[in-house]
Amino acid sequence: MKKLAPLCLLIALLYSCEIINPAEEVPAFIEVDEVNLDINVLQGGNTSDINQLLVFLDGNNIGGYPIPARIPIYGDGEQSVTLAAAVKQNAQSSTALIYPFYSQVTVTDEFIPGENRRVEMNISYRDNAVFAFVEDFEFGNQFVVDQDENPATSIIVSNEESASGANSGLITLTRENPDISVATDPLIEGIPLDGSGIYLEMDYRNEAAFSVGLVGVEDGEEFSQELLLLNTSDEWKKAYVRLTDLILDSGFENYRVLIRARHNSTVGESSRIFLDNFKLIHF
């Protein structure tokens, strides 16, 4: 009996350790290397800036994962995983939100613990997305409303460089002509006032900071409102500008897209702003 006591004690200790430190559950993994956006010819240039996925497991948010992503999936039996593309709202890295106009990818299956499942993240714009305004400078230029009444400052079509396609819009500001305020024509009509998502997409590379906003038009009166200031960038960037609140607050019938900028004297005699792939989208 005396020899059995230490053995019983050892067994009890081992059993209690298993209770205190149970074996860790092994997940399956979903791997996504990149996100591919497919568009049609009526949707402008094919550019995007999707750097994160928001993931839902059986409808429950399990977090955000930077791309390339390796996403752990825990649980038994058939499960449904939805991958949603997230973008930086208003060019702010702290606000990665699901972009409502991109389709999502759902995988429903039994995920085996330890398995690595590679998923092709091929998305498109949703079928009910309405492209109320598109300007990629390939077939003209709708930024023709000269708000500052200075013909020496304008947006011109340039083939020097672009975010996609052959052309972009170019603003050149100088010490003699340092400011620009220009808007689009024709008017953008039929934007809903029901609180659903309204965004302006745009690409830019700029030696001078510039602002983007809207001009509300009603009964012959025009009211300008700047919304977002975009700082200088040596490389092409994409902005997803949320317009929903601005349009709800203003409530105008029609709008123009507005661009304003001032010469950056620190770069020399002139500063240039390249613009491309404007898309105003709503449901």
**For residue 205, what is the domain's CATH number?**
2.60.120.260
Whole-structure pTM value = 0.90
Q: Are residues 102 and 138 in the same domain?
A: no
Is residue 115 in some structural domain?
A: yes
- Show which of 60, 94, 124 is a domain's final residue: 124
pLDDT tens digits, residue range 149-202? 999 999 999 999 999 999 999 999 999 999 999 999 999 999 999 999 999 999
The strand ranges marked E within 89-147 are 96-98, 105-110, 116-118, 121-124, 130-135, 145-146
Which pLDDT score, from 0 to 100, does residue 24 have?
85
Q: Are residues 44 and 168 in the same domain?
A: no
Look at the chain and report how many structural domains it folds into: 2
- Show which of 66, 92, 124 is a domain's final residue: 124
Which pLDDT score, from 0 to 100, does residue 21 have?
59
Which pLDDT score, from 0 to 100, does residue 176 have?
98
Q: Are residues 94 and 180 in the same domain?
A: no
Query: Measured between alpha carbons, how far is 89 from 49 in angstroms, rounded to an integer?
Result: 11
Q: Are residues 89 and 157 in the same domain?
A: no
Verify cis geometry, omega within 30 degrees of 0, for the bond prior to 186: yes
pLDDT < 70: residue spans in the chain: 1-22
Q: Are residues 164 and 96 in the same domain?
A: no
Range(s) of the domain holding residue 273: 130-282
- Show which of 67, 100, 124 is a domain's final residue: 124
Q: Are residues 80 and 164 in the same domain?
A: no
Which pLDDT score, from 0 to 100, does residue 9 have?
46
Q: Are residues 119 and 195 in the same domain?
A: no
The strand ranges marked E within 99-209 are 105-110, 116-118, 121-124, 130-135, 145-146, 155-158, 168-174, 179-183, 188-189, 198-206
Two structure tokens written together for 114: 């330890």
Residue 40: other Cβ atoms inside 10 A: 10
**For residue 95, what is the domain's CATH number?**
2.60.40
